[in-house]
Amino acid sequence: MSLKIKLPLVVSLLVLLSVAGVGYFLIRYEQNVLRGELARRGELLAKQLAGVDRVAFNLIARESEYLRLADSTLLFKRSSSSFEKERVLSAALSETVESPGVMEAVFFDWNGFPVLCLDAVNATRLREEIEDDDGPERVSLFQHPDSIHSVLGEPADGFTFTSPLLIGPDTLGFAQVRIDPSVLDRAIRDALMTVLPMLGGILGVSVLLSLLFSMFFTVPVSRLKKHALELSKGNLAARVKVRSRDELGLLGEVFNKMAHNLQRTYDEIQEKLVEIKRLFKMATEDGLTGLYVKRYFLELLAGELRRSIRYERPLSFLMCDVDYFKRINDTYGHPAGDVVLRSIARRLSVATREGIDIIGRYGGEEFAVMLPETDEETAWVIAERVRKAVGSEPISLDRIEGAGENRLTVAISVGITTVRGETSLDRLIATADRALYLAKENGRNRSAALALER
């Protein structure tokens, strides 16, 4: 048998074995990836379930413990508050179980005894009844703990995920989510249906290319490989010199066309990104001061307010207004007023904490400052610093035609309020606005603080 036949056969066999090996490891890798994704999803669901209202959980857990330890259930009476708290836990269980692939969600108390349990069979019915506030009967998952057969951390087959309910360093209980093992089997089967045809196509192309490679394409393919590697590393200017009109030459032309299309697409994407950033800036930033516009600032404030309430962290809010601003416009003209507003915006940015506090232009001459993780005392210090920074130096009007005076001293009044508990965005803004009004009534150029009404 001649070398012309032996070499192609040997190379084809090596390619076949290589593709088979790659296919095997690719399938195993896909299996591990899918299992890892399933584990991360299960852990995330368990953590989300563990974020349930601690007060509601503690009440139901103690009632469950009482029912478990009591001699008779006939003496056990539940309050309306108990039913409301159970409804909160039931809604969390229902939301978790309705997630794709979830078989069961369970709450356990601090001793590992089951409190409430919901499986996929009853999840839909429970959700419908919970959402029906006009229903004649209460929906209840509450039952004797001995009738719940779920065990904390079992079965330990990699599809049961548990997360503690913590209050500080103490464990109040546990949230457990059970994922259907068949989800992984279906995912692996779907992956195989995608990977196997791809491997078959790779094998066929590889055998064909190996025949050409074994004869006389070694050097040209090496050149093509070099440019392909450069392209994969981000060098979109990589091009192949086409020296023939055969299949390899065509491959080089296709490579060059692909690289050209990638370069063009990349340039188009960069242009669109620049345009998107420009439009986003136009939509969120005030053209005069460069601060956030009211609408976007309120979106940020609403999000921070939700976080403050959820994690029970302080949030302070300042409402600032330029004193006698109308007099400035009437006396020196609107261009001078614009210079004053820009100068105040810069001084506010300098006086607040970079990367922490958020400033927005709330109205014509009104500014708002959001102070995350800031208590009443610190908020007062920042408000005074802001107020003094605005009036620290006169504002130059040299470039304003007809302004008369070259330098103008301005002052602001500041209203302060701090969130420490459940409240609404409208109430927060209204309280800060009342505090600002109080500062104005007390003589302007001063700060005033009001506590939120509970």
Is position 25 within any domain? no
Examine the domain organization and report whether 57 and 122 are in the same domain: yes
Beta bridge partners of 366: 321
85 and 55 housed in the same domain: yes
Same domain, 332 and 239: no
**Residue of 365, 384, 401, 405 marked catalytic:** 365
Altogether, the residues listed in the chain come to a count of 454
**Nearest Cα to Cα of residue 31 among 197, 188, 194:** 188
Q: What pLDDT was estimated at residue 133?
A: 52
Asked if residue 225 and residue 114 are part of one domain, the reply reads: no
Tell me whether residue 259 is in a domain.
yes
Considering the domain architecture, whether residues 304 and 164 belong to the same structural domain is answered as no
Instruction: Confirm whether 61 is domain-assigned.
Output: yes
Which residues span the domain enclosing 440? Answer: 294-449
Among 154, 180, 206, the domain-final residue is 180
CA pair distance 382, 379, nearest whole angstrom: 5
DSSP of 138-184: -------GGG----TT-S-SS-EEEEEEEETTEEEEEEEEEE-THHH
Residue 188 domain flag: no
Asked whether residue 127 falls in the same domain as residue 75, the answer is yes
- Any domain includes 267: yes
Of 232, 262, 282, the position where a domain reaches its end is 282
CA dihedral sign, ordered 425, 428, 434, 438:
negative
pLDDT, one tens digit per residue, over 94-130 is: 888 888 888 888 888 888 888 888 887 776 666 666 5
State pTM to two decimals: 0.46
In terms of domains, do 132 and 269 share one?
no
Query: Do 313 and 224 have their domain in common?
Result: no
Residue 144 is predicted with a pLDDT of 58
pLDDT of residue 213: 58
Residue 145 contacts by C-beta under 8 Å, 6 or more apart in sequence? 64, 67, 68, 113, 114, 115
The CATH number for 426's domain is 3.30.70.270
Q: Which residues of 5-33 are buried (b: 16+ CB within 10 A; e: fewer)?
A: eeebeebbeebeeebeeebeebbeebeee
Helix (H, G, I), strand (E, B) or coil at 256: helix
Q: Are residues 165 and 306 in the same domain?
A: no
Residue 35 belongs to some domain of the structure:
no
Read off the DSSP letter of residue 360.
E
Out of 224, 258, 282, a domain closes at 282
Do both 308 and 420 map to the same domain? yes
How far, rounded to the nearest angstrom, does the alpha carbon of residue 420 sit from its chain's CA centroid? 24
User: Is 409 within a domain?
Assistant: yes
Judge whether 195 lies within some domain: no
Note whether 56 and 102 are same-domain residues: yes
365 is catalytic: yes
Residues 303 and 375 in one domain: yes
The total domain count for the chain is 3
Low-confidence ranges of the chain (pLDDT < 70): 1-9, 11-12, 15, 70-79, 123-147, 195, 199, 203, 206-207, 209-221, 248, 400-405, 454
Task: Return the pLDDT at 8.
Answer: 62
Question: What per-residue confidence (pLDDT) applies to 334?
Answer: 86
Alpha-carbon gap, residue 210 to 198, rounded angstroms: 18
